[in-house]
Amino acid sequence: MGYVSDNLNLLSDIAKCIAMQFGENCEVVLHDLTLPYDQTIVAIWNGHVTGRKVGDGGTNAGLEILKGSASPDDQYSYINATPTGRILRSSSKYFRDEYGKVNGSLCINFDITEMIKCENTLKSFTCSGSSTIPQSPELFVGNVDELLEIMMKEAVNMTGKSVGNLTKEEKVAVVHTLDGKGFFLIKKAAEKLADFLGLSRYSIYNYLNESTH
């Protein structure tokens, strides 16, 4: 059992309160990170904001925290974006067990797209510039297969080559990049990456043990 499952009714009431207060543009999500990563969402309000529902998985940010490659610090009022280009102001509160390990989170994603359009219209008259779009937004997807696909493509894009032209060293680097982002915490991720890179699963595991230097 984890903090979220032990306190689901209370946390759900708090999440509902936030969603009702700020309306349909405010998505509030409860993640139980003791569950498989493709089904961490145990409660959600206004899921149309990111296109998710109960039973869907988390974002790449949660994966990096579970992997330990990102600090599990609470974050408030940071800017995000959906794959469809909607701009979000987000906050994430993490819950920990008695050993300090993160095992759940409450996330708020407020769609401020229309507000930014109004702001930019006003700024066009005052010459104050335009709003900033996040350079590395979280990946909000409906299911974990989409998340894996995007992560694999981004890792290959970092090499500046197409997947069919990667050298062995570059493939090793792709594997290590994804490992650092918590990619292999997802069930069957190794098999999907093997198919994507045209390798065997055995090669993926060997690459994980190879140095990138």
Q: What is the pLDDT of residues 169-194, one digit of tens each?
A: 999 999 999 999 899 999 889 999 99
Rounded-to-integer distance, Cα 145 and Cα 128, Å: 41
Grouping H, G, I as helix, E, B as strand and the rest as coil, residue 31 is strand
Residue 142 pLDDT > 90, yes or no? Answer: no
Is 0.75 surpassed by the pTM of this model? Answer: no
Counting Cβ atoms within 10 Å, is residue 92 exposed (0-12), middle (13-18) or buried (19+)? Answer: buried
Residue 26 pLDDT > 90, yes or no? Answer: yes
Which residues, at least 6 apart from 185, have a Cβ–Cβ distance to it below 8 Å?
37, 63, 66, 67
Cα-based distances in Å from 85 to 34, 114, 123, 203: 30, 12, 20, 36
Percent of the chain with pLDDT over 90: 56
Residue 71: predicted pLDDT: 76
Rounded-to-integer distance, Cα 6 and Cα 126, Å: 52
Residue 116: predicted pLDDT: 85
CB 47 within 8 A of CB 57: no
CB 59 within 8 A of CB 68: no
Q: For 34-88, how does the pLDDT look when each residue is reduced to its tens digit (9 = 90+)?
A: 999 989 999 999 999 999 999 999 888 888 888 887 777 899 999 988 888 889 9
Mean pLDDT of 142-155: 88
Q: 10 Å Cβ neighbour count for 147?
A: 25
